[in-house]
Amino acid sequence: MSAETLVALLHGPDQPGLVAKTAGWIFTRGGNILHADQHRDLEEGVFFQRIEWEPSASSSAHAEVDAFQEFAGVLGMQSSVAATTKRTRVALFVSKADHCFHDLVLRWRANEFPCEIVAVVSNHETLEPVARGYGLPFYHVPVTAATKADAEARQMALLRELDVELVVLARYMQVLSAEMLTAFGRPVINIHHSFLPAFAGGKPYHQAYQRGVKLIGATAHYATRMLDEGPIIQQDVARVTHRHSVDDLVRRGRDLEKTVLAQAVRWHLEHRVLVYGNKTVVFD
């Protein structure tokens, strides 16, 4: 078993000595820093830091979390602290497309993701046999325009019952309402099959083909009330030419979608993503 470490993400107004102060706080409490990285937004004057450390053997992780957050508050910083031994409880929302679903589950089974997949939720029954083949609980919640509110109420009840901490929309192909996102109140990661902000909304590959673009892309972002406008976590692109059909764009795009979504999920689970405003700082 790996030793328990703590990871803190903090940001706030830049001021002299912040790196020294956080390092000194950990040192004086008997901790050992393993990784530290920081960034300064020069235009906004905002300081960002990710720091990982082994707490003293005489301290409990819970006590250290509370103490660090109090310390960060004294510095005027907003902070979050997590123990790396805690496995995030994840629900995958899927529809009929299976490429992102298989990729995420296989990576999870290979221990690439420090999480527990506690539910697969879908508006179709298409992926139920393969989900159960992976040993994952599958929940079919049909969604139509007329039943959307009731369906989301069922989904919310399930997320609360299972204490889900992260929802991943693995090509779910349904828009979560602003009301559901607010009620859930926890991160939701979506994969959009274009290089946002270009070609937001439906059928982006068809939009790209009609526009005659030379690059297609995929974007993983946090879902917000505004469709496809949430903070971006990861993006990638592939070159295309006039010789590629819509089907070619879809096929090439699927490879991008898998890798971009997997990277975004991994960074989130490793506490490397710090959201501020509608932007992110991603610590590598």
Catalytic sites, residue numbers: 228
CB within 8 A of 199, min separation 6: which ones? 207, 208, 211
- Three-class SS state of 237: strand
Rounded to an integer, what distance in angstroms lies between the CA atom of residue 137 and that of residue 117? 9
Determine contact, residues 128/136, Cβ cutoff 8 Å: no
Write 130-133 long-range contacts (CB < 8 A, 24+): 130/98, 130/101, 130/102, 131/101
* C-alpha span between 6 and 56 (Å, rounded): 11
Q: Is 152 exposed, middle or buried (0-12, 13-18, 19+ CB in 10 A)?
A: buried
Segment holding 55, helix H or strand E:
none
Lookup: tokens for 53: 């450390």
Question: Which candidate, 235, 192, 194, places its Cα nearest to that of 213?
Answer: 194
